[in-house]
């Protein structure tokens, strides 16, 4: 079974039953597709408020909280920023996870 769709660039692709994108012109050419999403990251200026919202209103459970108190090259590289310190929480409902981040440094740009 194949399903046809257009990607944002307007190119037509097909998806076969193995959940691999295949070229409609050349079915032997295949590209792995995303099989699922583990978590989504959300940045917030007030992590405790967002934890309370997802726990008390949305029914998520708090898996863990942690602080990144000392900047590290690994975290800087992963987030593509320098000198990162932050608070982080992972929340779960069923098999879906949300990662909440409150960045202490670098400071965010003022809104206005």
For residue 50, is pLDDT > 80?
yes
Please report the domains of the chain, with CATH numbers, ordered by start residue. 2-32 (no CATH), 39-105 (3.10.180.10)
Confidence of residue 26 (pLDDT cuts 50, 70, 90): low
pLDDT at 37: 81
Instruction: Could you list the beta-strand ranges (E) of the chain.
Output: 2-6, 12-16, 20-23, 30-32, 39-43, 61-68, 85-93, 96-105
* pTM of the predicted structure, to 2 decimals: 0.62
CB of 50 closer than 8 Å to CB of 42: yes
Confidence of residue 1 (pLDDT cuts 50, 70, 90): very low
Residues 83-95: pLDDT tens digits?
888 899 999 999 9
CB of 54 closer than 8 Å to CB of 60: yes
Please give the backbone phi and psi of residue 54, each rounded to the nearest 5 degrees, phi first.
-65, -30
Q: Which residue has the higher pLDDT, 33 or 11?
A: 33
């Amino acid at each position: 079974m194949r399903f046809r769709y257009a990607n944002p660039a307007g190119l037509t692709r097909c998806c076969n039953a193995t959940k691999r994108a295949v070229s409609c012109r050349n079915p032997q050419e295949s590209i792995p597709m995303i099989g699922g999403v583990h978590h989504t990251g959300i940045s917030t200026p007030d992590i405790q408020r967002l934890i309370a919202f997802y726990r008390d209103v949305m029914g998520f459970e708090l898996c863990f909280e942690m602080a990144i108190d000392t900047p590290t090259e690994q975290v800087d590289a992963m987030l593509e920023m320098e000198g990162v310190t932050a608070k982080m929480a992972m929340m779960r409902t069923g098999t879906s996870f949300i990662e909440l981040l409150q960045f202490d440094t670098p400071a965010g740009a003022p809104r206005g």
